Amino acid sequence: MFSGLNVSIHGDSNTDSQRLVELAHWPIKVSIIIVLGAMITLGNVAVLMVISSSVSGWSRNSRYFLLSLTGADSAFGIVVMPLNLWVSLVKDYRQGPDVLCHVVAFCNATVYSTCMYTLAMISLERYIAVLYPLKYSSLMTRKRSLMLIAFSWFFPPFLLLPVSFPGGIIEVHFSTASLVCNPTYSTNVGYSMSLTCFIFFPCSIIMTYTNLHLWCAAKRQRKKLRKYDQNCRKRSDVASRVLVPVMAVYYTCWAPCMAAMIYNAVSGNSVPEWLEFVVVWLPTSNGFLNCIFYFWINRSFRRKFHLVFQQLILALCPSLAKAFGWSADPQTLFVSGMWDNNNSVYERSSSMSSTCTMMTLAEDVGHT
């Protein structure tokens, strides 16, 4: 991945005894990675089952962006983790960089970058939907939404293409500390800093700016509602309950990785073994936490998941469904498997998920 954390296995910086210690921890690290990968995959499969069909109050554009995020998060579990675990099994640690490691490092960096860009695009769409609802239809057309999604997926591979070339400006080694094919950005500090400037900092600025403005807008709206609705004082602070955790999780998962990358590029030194393992794999946990903060806290999503799960059990195991007292509803089954044809109504009203609009959030809290 583009964190650039590398415990070299070919230089004087790492002794044979250190390599043996790192390899001795291999089963523990592999177990952690497998458990994390299973959580990410199962969580995003459940999300995909729901948002691939219509969800009440979610516009078509919303589902496009959230499907993009689900795809990027799923890639952690079905691409990044299997590839790096496979390399850790077949890699001969006495050999130097090879084509396989370069390809895997390129895939890692692409998935991580795509996830960050997608999170930034979702924040931007939410910002427009909430603060400029009357202009949403003209600003966030279907074509522009798809172009933003395409940019999130195709710009990172273009930017990171040099990582895939063996013998190029970027060296890649397999790290026995993090079990990841890592680019050694210390050999090209300028390129590594350029990646940080084009990926992490722009996405972080967009997310911070948009979510901070949404939080301030929600606070102002809450103060106004207090004057007319006494029950508003009893309701929880929705903005703090959603927006603050989203940003806190983002920076907790990504900032340590970026800080270690910059440290490695500037100083040329690597961080301790387990610290490297944690900061390298910590961003992948964001793929699971996104399922919670962007989906499961929304009441409409939970209801739709219950419906989809019920229909799935009815189809696969009717006896179990009968034990729970569930009965098939042909009309419900048809709707759950089809895209909503009334998306234009949702788009004109700029309805979003609970993490995408304050109005939906307020409604969720009001019913709890």
CATH number of the domain at 74, please.
1.20.1070.10
pLDDT at residue 179, rounded to an integer: 85
Q: Is 173 helix (H, G, I), strand (E, B) or coil?
A: strand
In a domain, 248, yes or no: yes
pLDDT at residue 236, rounded to an integer: 52
Phi, psi values for residue 174, rounded to 5°: -85, 130
In a domain, 132, yes or no: yes
**Domain count within the chain:** 1
Beta pairing partners, 184: 171
Question: Alpha carbon of 45 to those of 49, 73, 198, 295, 344: distances in Å?
Answer: 6, 10, 30, 12, 27
pLDDT per position as a tens digit, 8-43:
333 444 455 656 656 667 888 889 999 999 999 988
300-312 b/e (C-beta count within 10 Å ≥ 16 → b): bbeebbebbebbe
In a domain, 351, yes or no: yes
In a domain, 245, yes or no: yes
Q: Which residue, 215, 352, 234, 212, is CA-closest to 295?
A: 352
pLDDT at residue 93, rounded to an integer: 57
Give the residue numbers spanning the domain of 96: 16-366
Rounded Cα–Cα distance for residues 114 and 222 (Å): 35
| Orientation of helix 299-316 relative to helix 26-51, angle to 10° | 90
In a domain, 333, yes or no: yes
182's enclosing H/E stretch is strand 180-184
In a domain, 233, yes or no: yes
Residues of the chain with pLDDT under 70: 1-24, 54-57, 91-97, 168, 185-192, 194, 226-240, 320-368
In a domain, 1, yes or no: no
| 268 Rama class: left (phi>0) / alpha (psi -120 to 50) / beta | left
pLDDT at residue 151, rounded to an integer: 95
pLDDT at residue 198, rounded to an integer: 81
pLDDT at residue 317, rounded to an integer: 72
Rounded Cα–Cα distance for residues 200 and 283 (Å): 12
In a domain, 85, yes or no: yes
Rounded Cα–Cα distance for residues 229 and 246 (Å): 28
